Structure 1
Amino acid sequence: MAIPGSLTQLDIWKSLQSHYQDIKDQHMRDWFAADLNRFERFNVTAAGLTLDYSKNRINDDSMNLLMQLARVRNLPQQINAMFTGEAINRSEKRPALHTALRNFSDRAIVVDGQDIMPEIRDTVRRMEEFCWKIRRNQWRGYSNKPFTDVVSIGIGGSFLGPKLASGALKPYWDSRLNIHYLANIDGSHITEILKRLDPSTTLFIIQSKSFGTQETLKNALACRQWFLDNGGEESDLPKHFTAVSSNVEKAKAFGIAEENIFPMWDWVGGRYSLWSAIGLPLALAIGIDNFRDLLRGAFEMDEHFRTAPLEQNMPVIMALLGVWYVNFFGVNSHAILPYDHYLRTLPAHLQQLDMESNGKSITLDGNPVDYNTGPIIWGGVGTNGQHAFHQLLHQGTHFSPADFIMPMCSHNPIDNFHAMLVSNCLSQSQALLQGKSEEEAIEELVASGMSKAEAIVLAPQKVIPGNRPSNTLYFPKAKPQTVGALIALYEHKVAAQGMIWGVNSFDQWGVELGKQLGNKVLDALESQKIPQHFDGSTNGLVRAFHQMQNLL
């Protein structure tokens, strides 16, 4: 799919630069005062979510110009290419078809001449059978006791997506099963998980496409040895270990029965794999019906993204707002602020989704970009952040656009807790918008009993500039369908931004370099030879590792 011209040389880009100069000093307070319908006009609903984007530094002209940019960059055609299975991941010559995993339509999805939907549906059927056996105690451990714990071993997308969805949907968990996620290659992490478990009632799911990812395989081998050292036999391994992998032979050699190996496909990237059998621990926790509802919510957002006009397209609007801030306001970060305890790991998942996808400096055509691409994603949960990093959001020297994410109803209504939580969310976005002028600060201080002279001295410290943009995403309650739509929304926002920037959002060569170098450094750490072949710093740090190991 050809994307015309160098981005910064496009006429529409220059028009946006001129428009930015026209409005950059205008304050959103004035826009709201002059337009009583601003909330209704900059508001869109899709798949059970509503986006209020009225608190952004845009007007009608801004949005019209951004929509023109989307069309000049052939965004509708690029979206269609993703859904129809074109090899949009050019560097790896693969499609990016995570949307096929939640395709509830009758549309065939063809890859290399084959409709992949029958295999996807068969995998979901196998997942259903697997979950039925575990949750109804039809499949038991070597001691004939029902399983009480499931340990999912993976890293990256095999860890972050399922962990997010599991946490988000904790109210739907089967209380008889505890789900644990093991990712970090850190002896402390695995120790803290295993010391609470009984091997006779623990099921392990190893999640690795290659069955060779360094961290995952090392953790899996350690769990296998723990199992054998604490009552399990080699012959018991098939009862306690399953896998999601494309390397069937390696999984079988590990001791896993072939019928308990679930597939992974090259056309699904790790950070988009929640919807596949990688979601098996989640399906065990919440049940296959709720897992299907999660898929259905994502499908509804897919259909919205695929068919809605750009002007009413939620992921496209969010993507364009991000481009507006990154490339014209010079913003380099974006805050994710979920006001829901169950969504507390959403920022971590979106860090990988966004920064691994669009942390690129080369275009699809192999040319260096002369503009910024993906922002730094960060954030935290609810009112906790208000007593930590919100200070920078309000009075820092640079601003970070923020997404406030908020269910209007709680799974656990206690007194007026939820009304207080929502009030904090709304007041924070309001404060970012309005700020506080020096005159208002002086009046406030004098009203509190301070003399006018003292107030004039102190007031500058209390000035808050406001005019700091935010979105508010809200929905009735974090149900499986809603959570599916929410995650898919951000997937499509990130993809749309990559399409506009002209980068490949579906590879991650920087990550691959770290893996390659990691093996070489590991060899040096495990050798007693003094390293000379790395850079001076790495050589010195390897020597320090050897010295400190010898001290213990």
Structure 2
Amino acid sequence: MNEAAKGAWSELETAPDPTLLELFAGDTDRVELLSGRIDWDGEDGKAGILFDWSKTHLTQGLLSGFETLAEAMDFVGKRSALLGGEVVNLTEGRAAEHTAQRGIGADASVEEAGALHRRMAMLVDAIHDGALGPVKHLIHVGIGGSALGPALAVDALTRDLAKVDVHIVSNIDGLALEQAFAACDPAATMIAVASKTFTTIETMTNAESAIQWLERAGIDDPYGRVVALTASPEKAVEWGVDETRVLPFGESVGGRYSLWSSIGFPVAVAIGTEEFGQFLAGARAVDEHFRDHDGAVNLPLRAAFADQYYTRLKGCQTRAVFAYDERLALLPDYLQQLEMESNGKRVTADGELVDSPTAPITWGGVGTDAQHAVFQLLHQGTHLVPVDFIASIAPGDELDPAHHRILLTNCFAQGAALIAGGNMGANGNDPARAFPGNRPSATMLCDDIDPATLGALIAFHEHRTFANAVLMGINPFDQFGVELGKQMAGRIDAGGERFDASTEELLAAAGLG
């Protein structure tokens, strides 16, 4: 870390530490200062998301201090490098061009992404038009970013109706694949195999089993039912996929950032190509905001300021995300990978050991279920946990409006209660019924949950993750920690090598020794 950044941190560490109630009492403009919207053109006029950090401990002084830190860490330069398609993944010597999939990036990369999207759209439209025969089901096999993103989007956007019934399978546990088989008619099922390298052992093992399932069902040309989503098209063809059914994406599109590429094929199959275009457009609206705004008015950067305040200055080891909308039930799982795989690092981009905490543990759930499970710890536990609440003004159901009213009032009440605290004892002095309050939260209030909004939400968190990485001086685009266990599993499977006594005993007990 350079001297200017060290100086900025030193200033931040000496900042005043008033309570949240004191902050609200002392500043009548606090909500306006710490709230902002990102909007885009929707079907019925402007649509967007309201972001509110007023229930965090951020102040004008802290915002200014973090802006100084961002300048010291060359946030503007690194953002320009990211969006310009320059090499930002230094350990692997490549760019990170997920924004090019949405139209923001190097001209050649944007042009290539557009061509590949059109190729994907032609195949999706052919499926919907019946040109490939009856297709009622799609089994999508992938893992990590190749599965988490599609699973989130399909679950969020097809609660009403899906053009094709999509099943996402990631786990090598055969039960997951068997459950998909049981729900599908093999005569009307296509298989999507999503693997950047087309060598991922979990994915390729599941793909082989899917081919065998089709063969057992009497399908004459099972490989003709397969679509490959990969950055290694030649390996897909070698495996048996017809080259007309291979949907490539660029090597510079990382797995957990790949939903916008051909990895989004199952999403487009489920919701349609027009809606998939809206998904990309919502993300692009956030890209443009992220590109065009500097300092604390840049909302993903402001979110990173809050993250760094709680992780580094307040020692918070976790951050909780609660979606008060059933359509976003998988969002906490998605963000776990995005944030922890990106920023769970112990060295800087220069290879030096970090001198402070990096990514907190991301966890969460769905409201109101979580209120009856984990909120006890949030209100009265000994851990300080910053919370993000995410909700939608428009309901996802057509039942009595009381359902959605109760959902939203519970969401907003939790944030208010975390601030205020209090004592619910008869005389106001029962320790077991005391709540300390002064516990932070932020709220993201969406106008609705539709393709554009989901795209915007995901893109916002991508940029938030990148901004955090810049402030910490780390590389968010490699993930070597994922590889060690996979290498060890391969060595165990190959045999002929001894491991620690515990592992040897477990292998023997499972009949694998």
| Both proteins in one fold, TM over 0.5 | yes
* Contact 1:185/1:219 (<8 A) preserved: yes
* Contact 1:244/1:278 (<8 A) preserved: yes
Alignment pair present for 1:226 and 2:223? no
Deviations along 1:321-379, one digit per CA (max 9) or x if unpaired, are 10011000000100010111010000000000000000000011111011000000000
Deviations along 1:430-453, one digit per CA (max 9) or x if unpaired, are 11111114xxx34xx15xxxxxxx
* Residue 378 of structure 1, aligned match among 358, 363, 366: 363
Deviations along 1:142-164, one digit per CA (max 9) or x if unpaired, are xxxx1111010000000001111
Alignment pair present for 1:516 and 2:487? yes
* Residue 297 of structure 2, aligned match among 295, 312, 315: 312
* Contact 2:192/2:229 (<8 A) preserved: yes
What SS is found at the alignment partner of 1:360?
Answer: coil
* Contact 2:20/2:57 (<8 A) preserved: yes
* Contact 2:321/2:388 (<8 A) preserved: yes
Q: CA deviation at 1:5?
A: 3.9
The equivalent residue for 1:534 is 499
Alignment pair present for 1:165 and 2:136? no
What SS is found at the alignment partner of 2:238?
Answer: helix
Q: CA deviation at 1:171?
A: 4.3
The equivalent residue for 2:240 is 255
Query: Structure 1: how far apart are the matches of 2:24 and 2:492?
Result: 57
* Residue 261 of structure 2, aligned match among 267, 276, 284: 276
What SS is found at the alignment partner of 1:546?
Answer: coil
The equivalent residue for 1:27 is 19
The equivalent residue for 1:213 is 200
What SS is found at the alignment partner of 1:91?
Answer: coil
Q: CA deviation at 1:512?
A: 1.5
* Contact 2:193/2:227 (<8 A) preserved: yes
What SS is found at the alignment partner of 2:167?
Answer: strand
1:286-365 aligned within 5 A: 286-365=271-350
The equivalent residue for 1:420 is 406
Indicate the larger mover: 68-77 or 279-288.
Answer: 68-77
- CA change 1:514–1:532 in 2 (3 A) is closer
The equivalent residue for 1:543 is 508
Query: Structure 2: how far apart are the matches of 1:189 and 1:157?
Result: 17
Q: CA deviation at 1:532?
A: 5.5
* Contact 2:4/2:72 (<8 A) preserved: no
The equivalent residue for 1:451 is none
1:485-500 aligned within 5 A: 485-500=456-471
Query: Structure 1: how far apart are the matches of 2:201 and 2:497?
Result: 24
1:72-471 aligned within 5 A: 72-103=72-103, 109=106, 115-140=108-133, 146-171=134-159, 173-175=161-163, 177-233=164-220, 235-238=221-224, 240-415=225-400, 416-437=402-423, 441-442=424-425, 445-446=426-427, 456=429, 459-471=430-442
What SS is found at the alignment partner of 1:195?
Answer: helix
Deviations along 1:9-42, one digit per CA (max 9) or x if unpaired, are x1111111111xx31xx22112212323221121
Q: Which amino acid aligns with 1:412?
A: D
Query: Structure 2: how far apart are the matches of 1:304 and 1:225?
Result: 48
User: What is the root-mean-square deviation of aligned Cα atoms in Å?
Assistant: 1.6
Q: CA deviation at 1:78?
A: 0.9
Query: Structure 2: how far apart are the matches of 1:308 and 1:394?
Result: 35
Query: Structure 1: how far apart are the matches of 2:26 and 2:52?
Result: 18
Deviations along 1:412-470, one digit per CA (max 9) or x if unpaired, are 13211111100000000111111114xxx34xx15xxxxxxxx75xx111110111111
Q: CA deviation at 1:400?
A: 0.7
The equivalent residue for 1:70 is 70
The equivalent residue for 1:4 is 2
The equivalent residue for 2:32 is 40
Query: Structure 2: how far apart are the matches of 1:306 and 1:461?
Result: 49
Q: CA deviation at 1:121?
A: 1.2
Report the identity percentage.
37
Query: Structure 2: how far apart are the matches of 1:131 and 1:74?
Result: 42
Q: Which amino acid aligns with 1:539?
A: E
* Contact 1:172/1:286 (<8 A) preserved: no
Q: CA deviation at 1:211?
A: 1.0
* Contact 1:360/1:503 (<8 A) preserved: yes
Q: CA deviation at 1:221?
A: 0.2
After TM superposition, the runs of 4+ consecutive aligned structure 1 residues lying more than 6 A away are none
- Give the alignment's TM-score, normalised by structure 1: 0.89
Deviations along 1:139-186, one digit per CA (max 9) or x if unpaired, are 11xxxxx111101000000000111111111246435x2100010000
Query: Structure 2: how far apart are the matches of 1:135 and 1:93?
Result: 40
Query: Structure 2: how far apart are the matches of 1:367 and 1:147?
Result: 52
Deviations along 1:63-108, one digit per CA (max 9) or x if unpaired, are 11111111111111111110011111000000111000001x6xx6
Q: Which amino acid aligns with 2:340?
A: M
Query: Structure 1: how far apart are the matches of 2:9 and 2:2?
Result: 13
Q: Which amino acid aligns with 1:434?
A: A
* Contact 2:327/2:396 (<8 A) preserved: no
Q: CA deviation at 1:247?
A: 2.6
Indicate the larger mover: 41-50 or 88-97.
Answer: 41-50
Query: Structure 2: how far apart are the matches of 1:493 and 1:475?
Result: 17
Specify every segment of 5 or more residues in structure 2 that has no aligned partner in the other structure, as ranges. Answer: 40-47
Q: CA deviation at 1:296?
A: 0.6
Deviations along 1:276-304, one digit per CA (max 9) or x if unpaired, are 00000000011001101010110110010
Q: Which amino acid aligns with 2:299?
A: M
Indicate the larger mover: 219-228 or 241-250.
Answer: 241-250
Alignment pair present for 1:17 and 2:13? yes
Query: Structure 2: how far apart are the matches of 1:174 and 1:368?
Result: 48
When Rg is computed on C-alpha atoms for both structures, the one with the higher figure is 1
What SS is found at the alignment partner of 1:152?
Answer: strand
- Give the alignment's TM-score, normalised by structure 2: 0.95
Q: Which amino acid aligns with 2:509?
A: A
Q: CA deviation at 1:6?
A: 8.4
